[in-house]
Every structure is written in C-alpha cells, then in structure tokens.
C-alpha cells in the first residue's frame, strides 16, 4: 500500500513512464532518496508517509493500482 501511494505522488513530480522506458531511473531514485530513504529513520511510518505524500496511508491508491493491473481490459 505504501509503494502504491508513493508512486501516485511520485508521478505528479517525476516523468515516471519516461524514466522507466529510457532505463534512466535516476529521477525515481532521487525522489525516493529525497522523500523516503533519507527521512525514514527520522520519522514514524505514519509521519513519513504524510510528509512524502501529503496524506496518511490511503488504500485508494492501492486499489487503483490493483484495478489497473488486474481489471484492465486487454
């Protein structure tokens, strides 16, 4: 659930699809470093997710991920 929420926030700030397609993951790693990796030991999990995404843990992001992955028409 956390990863889905982090990704939902990240794609607002990083051209996520272009980074994946090009193989240059440095923008993704930079966002993770700035918002998660360097902050994780400084805050509780609840504080960290709120600081990184602007909201507490929200299952809606995970649900959207699952729907997009498994219920997408092919």
Residues 1/57, Cβ–Cβ less than 8 Å: yes
> Is pLDDT above 90 for 74?
no
Q: What pLDDT score does 73 carry?
A: 65
Q: What pLDDT score does 72 carry?
A: 77
Q: What pLDDT score does 9 carry?
A: 97
Question: Among the residues of 11-58, which ranges form H helices?
Answer: 16-22, 26-32, 45-53
pTM across the whole model = 0.87
The model's pLDDT over 17-66, given as tens digits with 9 standing for 90+, comes to 999 999 999 999 999 999 999 999 999 999 999 999 999 999 999 999 99
Q: What is each CA distance from 37 to 11, 66, 70, 73, 74, in whole angstroms?
A: 18, 25, 29, 35, 36
């Amino acid at each position: 659930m956390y990863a889905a929420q982090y990704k939902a926030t990240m794609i607002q700030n990083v051209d996520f699809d272009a980074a994946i397609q090009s193989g240059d993951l440095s923008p993704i790693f930079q966002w993770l470093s700035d918002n998660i990796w360097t902050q994780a030991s400084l805050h509780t999990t609840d504080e960290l997710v709120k600081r990184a995404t602007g909201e507490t843990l929200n299952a809606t992001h995970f649900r959207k991920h699952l729907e997009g992955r498994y219920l997408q028409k092919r």
